[in-house]
């Protein structure tokens, strides 16, 4: 059974165990919960919400590093580590380790994002001691047994091979190459078919030794546990890690200036278009104005792009666009898929709508509706322990204040129409970086060869 199936089966066990309790419990107001800054006796800090609504504990945590810390010639090292930390530790081989997780319905996972090596732990309250023990073993005593290394490597390589014929994957990868060139942000977090075969156990152990350290650790915990018990478990789990990480410096970078366009040939009936450009860093004074006006342009079925491209012209089933921010840069990125022979028309429609909002900005009505939606949707985005834990971790990584949830709606309300127009010009006034993956224009002119089910209307 592969990693994906094991983890989802384990999470399903938790859901089954909690189902009856959730039906009886009142709906919790997680966003309104009291957030504490907890410091353990050993000095491990966490943002913590005590919530006994259901006997569940959710923890999210991250170390600075991620795929940007992969060796330049061994992209995907962090991703390989993420796949192997729970494949056996100390005297527990992979089979025994997973049996202990499964027996207690413990959900444990790791991932390597661009800037962070992240982890997630979910468990029933009664299983907290074993869950934290297993996590501690994974972080400090991972085995990296040869058979497990090769099995995970084979899974990664299989995924990379599938990506060579996946237009969305090709478009995303090419877009990052165009935006960032040879900067670490221009590389895939999953590695490449050339790099992954060369990653050995020594590389992965070196990565663990450099990245997993207490000085960059950020933790959030939400659930049915008291502060004293949590502090004890945090010390036991993370206290033995090195004090200092050994990170190589990553320079700030501005994404390549638009307009630029790249084409990747692929013989598929559905053409994928990825578009974007330089964005707004999280601590830029204009960030919230950008966040609001970006929702007007590309945020869901009420956005301008959706109405113009999907509803008015029928060029695609869906289209979306969002702001992405990283430690050293920021982007706005959008995606859509369209019938091969209508790709040019789709790109033209996107560019036209981008120019229109850059030149004229939004209307007051659009601004008011966007504010209303963004304020109301916050409560839905934080309506479970897991969602709240994830949000609290992200706020820490973004270096936001602990009372940000309480302040956010006021920040949204403070955005004026002049702010929105100014930031729209800043974001979209230069045009787009555009990547098109699909059939060459001359082939796309013959849509009859495409299977009808693959066409967007």
**Residue among 342, 316, 330 at smallest CA distance from 280:** 330
Q: Structure pTM?
A: 0.88
342: Cβ–Cβ under 8 A, 6 or more apart, which residues?
315, 456
Query: Is 23 exposed, middle or buried, given 0-12, 13-18 or 19+ CB atoms closer than 10 A?
Result: exposed
How far, in Å, CA of 32 to CA of 316, rounded?
39
Phi, psi dihedrals of residue 446, rounded to the nearest 5°: -120, 70
CATH code for 260-374+400-454? 3.30.830.10
Query: Is 220 exposed, middle or buried, given 0-12, 13-18 or 19+ CB atoms closer than 10 A?
Result: buried
Angle at alpha carbon of residue 15, lines to 11 and 21, rounded to 5°: 150
How far, in Å, CA of 103 to CA of 67, rounded?
32
How far, in Å, CA of 426 to CA of 286, rounded?
10
311: Cβ–Cβ under 8 A, 6 or more apart, which residues?
none
Contact (Cβ atoms closer than 8 angstroms) between residue 380 and residue 330: no
Query: What separation, in Å, do the N-terminal and C-terminal C-alpha atoms of the chain show?
Result: 38
3-state secondary structure of 85: coil
**Residue among 209, 237, 191, 172 at smallest CA distance from 83:** 191
**Residue among 380, 387, 402, 382 at smallest CA distance from 122:** 387
Phi, psi dihedrals of residue 363, rounded to the nearest 5°: -90, 165
Residue 382's pLDDT is 85
Exposure string over 434-451, b if 16+ CB within 10 A, otherwise e = bbbbbbeeebbeeeeebe
Give me the tens of pLDDT residue by residue for the chain, a chain 457 residues long.
344 343 444 444 434 433 333 333 333 445 556 999 999 999 999 999 999 999 999 999 999 999 999 999 999 999 999 999 999 999 999 999 999 999 999 999 999 999 999 999 999 999 999 999 999 999 999 999 999 999 999 999 999 999 999 999 999 999 999 999 999 999 999 999 999 999 999 999 999 999 999 999 999 999 999 999 999 999 999 999 999 999 999 999 999 999 999 999 999 989 999 999 999 999 999 999 999 999 999 998 889 999 999 999 999 989 999 999 999 999 999 999 999 999 999 999 999 999 999 999 999 999 999 999 999 888 778 889 999 999 999 999 999 999 999 999 999 999 999 999 999 999 999 999 999 999 986 554 444 333 333 333 3
Count how many Cα atoms sit within 13 Å of the Cα of residue 218 in the half-sphere of its side chain.
Answer: 21
- Domain 3-238, second-level architecture: 2-Layer Sandwich (3.30)
CATH 3.30.830.10 residue window(s) in the chain: 3-238, 260-374+400-454
């Amino acid at each position: 059974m592969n990693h994906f199936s094991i983890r989802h089966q384990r999470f399903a066990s938790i859901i089954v165990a909690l189902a009856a309790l959730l039906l009886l419990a009142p709906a919790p107001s997680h966003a309104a919960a009291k957030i504490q800054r907890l410091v353990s006796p050993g000095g491990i800090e966490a943002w913590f919400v005590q919530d006994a609504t259901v006997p569940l504990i959710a923890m999210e945590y991250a170390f600075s590093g991620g795929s940007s810390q992969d060796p330049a010639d061994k992209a995907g090292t962090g991703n390989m580590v993420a796949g192997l930390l729970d494949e056996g530790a100390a005297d527990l081989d992979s089979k025994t380790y997973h049996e202990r997780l499964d027996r207690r319905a413990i959900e444990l996972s790791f991932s390597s994002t661009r800037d962070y090596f992240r982890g997630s732990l979910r468990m029933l309250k009664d299983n907290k001691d074993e869950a934290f023990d297993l996590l501690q073993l994974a972080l400090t005593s991972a085995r990296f047994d040869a058979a497990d290394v090769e099995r995970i490597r084979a899974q990664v390589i299989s995924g990379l091979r599938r990506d060579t014929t996946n237009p969305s994957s090709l478009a995303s990868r090419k877009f990052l190459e165009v935006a960032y060139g040879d900067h670490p942000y221009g590389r895939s977090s999953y590695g490449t078919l050339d790099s992954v075969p060369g990653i050995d156990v020594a590389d992965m152990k070196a990565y663990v030794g450099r990245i997993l350290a207490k000085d960059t650790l950020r933790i959030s915990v939400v659930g049915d546990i008291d502060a004293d018990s949590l502090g004890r478990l945090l010390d036991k789990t993370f206290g033995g890690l090195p004090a200092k990480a050994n990170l190589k410096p990553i320079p700030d970078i501005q994404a390549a200036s638009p307009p630029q366009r790249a084409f990747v040939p692929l013989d598929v009936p559905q053409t994928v278009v990825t578009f974007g450009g330089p964005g707004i860093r999280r601590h830029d004074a204009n960030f919230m104005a950008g966040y609001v006006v970006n929702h007007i342009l590309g945020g869901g079925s009420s956005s301008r792009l959706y109405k113009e491209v999907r509803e008015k012209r029928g060029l695609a089933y869906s289209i979306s666009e969002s702001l992405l921010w990283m430690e050293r840069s920021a982007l706005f990125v959008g995606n859509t898929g369209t019938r091969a022979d209508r790709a040019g028309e789709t790109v033209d429609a996107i560019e036209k709508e981008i120019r229109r909002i850059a030149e004229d900005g939004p209307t007051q009505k659009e601004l008011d509706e966007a504010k209303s939606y963004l304020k109301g949707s916050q409560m839905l985005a934080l309506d479970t322990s897991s969602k709240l834990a994830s949000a609290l971790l992200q706020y820490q990584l973004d270096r936001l204040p602990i009372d940000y949830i309480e302040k956010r709606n006021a920040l949204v309300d403070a955005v004026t129409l002049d702010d929105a127009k100014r930031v729209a010009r800043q974001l979209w006034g230069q045009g787009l970086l555009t990547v098109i993956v699909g059939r060459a224009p001359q082939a796309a002119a013959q849509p009859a060869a495409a299977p009808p089910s693959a066409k967007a209307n």
